Amino acid sequence: MGRYFLKRFVYSLFTILLISSVTFLMMHSIPGGPFTRERAVPDEILKVLNAKYNLDDPLIVQFLNYMGGVLTFDLGPSFSKVGTSVNDLITSGFPSTATVGAWAVLSIILVGIPLGVISALKQGSSIDYSVMLLATFGVTVPSFVIATLIIYFFAGQLGWIPPFGLSTPQSYIGPVVALSGYSLSFVSRLTRSSMLEVLRQDYIRTARANGLSEFSVIMKHAVKNALIPVVTYLGPTIAAIMTGSFVVERIFAIPGIGRYFVESVSNRDYTTIMGVTILYAAFYVMMVLLVDIIYALVDPRIRFEKESKN
């Protein structure tokens, strides 16, 4: 068991390093340097800039320097914001991104899963239909549309929430709903179908035949099994929510990592693009690892398989 996780952990680290290398190489294969602009920059200035950021070193030296930085959590200076390092940008953006993301994840788990369970238990009822209608809406409408609709109606027409920023508690509602909408809907649909599948299983009939209370049949025997596929989906989703926040951050003008990322894409701030990509990827890989661990803890069959493999 322990060995398996250690192996998985080392494998994840290796993945992150590989992703960092690929990202580095991709960014350095862009024709023209980071200081290529529509208006030509004088050669002398370019030379100074290149020397300042060590861009005149051979690629392999740059690569080793950068990877050394990644290993020591130093993502280098920002190319467009003079005097600011990528670490500074991430540090200043992280609180907003993390807070909105955490609320979104919480609402997915605390709203999406119960909705799916209730919907499955009341299959065919009007509750079921309304939940599924809402969930279908959620998975067919892109987050930027949800976000703009929220701004238009709740900020513009009704004036209930501020249209941008994170100044008041209410201002979290819009970003959190927009960010979690798709996954929340998906999770409730997934939970519902998984729950329906589990409720048909023989062991549920056994639990009933053994006279267990309906509460125990549902909450203990059905829900835990039904959550196995949901957990598998949740890991990458949580990572994607944290990383996919750039659209929502852009619309609601939230000073988070995602907004810096979008800005850096349009400013050709290559170090920031690289840094944020690597950060996102690392987070994603770690979430996948975490889910694998939870998965093995929830489902003894997986644990068994992995123990016997190692």
Give the interface with another protein as residue ranges (CB under 8 A).
12, 15, 18-19, 23, 26-27, 29-31, 136-137, 139-145, 148, 151-152, 156, 201-203, 205-214, 216, 220-221, 224-225, 228, 236, 239-240, 243-244, 246-247, 250-251, 262, 265-266, 273, 277, 280-281, 284-285, 288, 298-301, 304
| Min separation Cβ 268 and another protein, Å | 8
Q: Give the C-alpha separation, 258 to 90, whole Å.
A: 9
| Min separation Cβ 19 and another protein, Å | 6
**Minimum CB distance to another protein smaller for 88 or for 299:** 299
What sections of the chain are H helices per DSSP? 2-28, 43-52, 59-71, 86-107, 113-121, 126-140, 143-150, 173-199, 202-209, 214-216, 223-243, 246-251, 257-267, 270-298, 300-309
| Min separation Cβ 141 and another protein, Å | 5
Buried-state track 51-65, b at ≥16 Cβ within 10 A, e below 16: eebebeeeeeebbee
For 251, the token pair is 């619309």
Cα–Cα distances in angstroms (integers) from residue 178 to residues 106, 143, 166, 169, 209, in the given order: 14, 5, 14, 16, 44
* CA dihedral of residues 157, 162, 163, 169 (deg, nearest 10): -130
**Minimum CB distance to another protein smaller for 51 or for 96:** 96
For 134, residues 6+ apart whose C-beta sits below 8 A from its C-beta are 185
| Min separation Cβ 186 and another protein, Å | 11
Type of residue numbered 158: L
Strand partners, 85: 77
**Minimum CB distance to another protein smaller for 76 or for 235:** 235
**Minimum CB distance to another protein smaller for 14 or for 51:** 14
In this structure, the number of other CB atoms found within 10 A of the CB of residue 219 comes to 12
**Minimum CB distance to another protein smaller for 96 or for 237:** 237
The DSSP call for residue 160 is -
| Min separation Cβ 44 and another protein, Å | 26
| Min separation Cβ 212 and another protein, Å | 6
**Minimum CB distance to another protein smaller for 79 or for 246:** 246
**Minimum CB distance to another protein smaller for 2 or for 124:** 124
| Min separation Cβ 54 and another protein, Å | 21
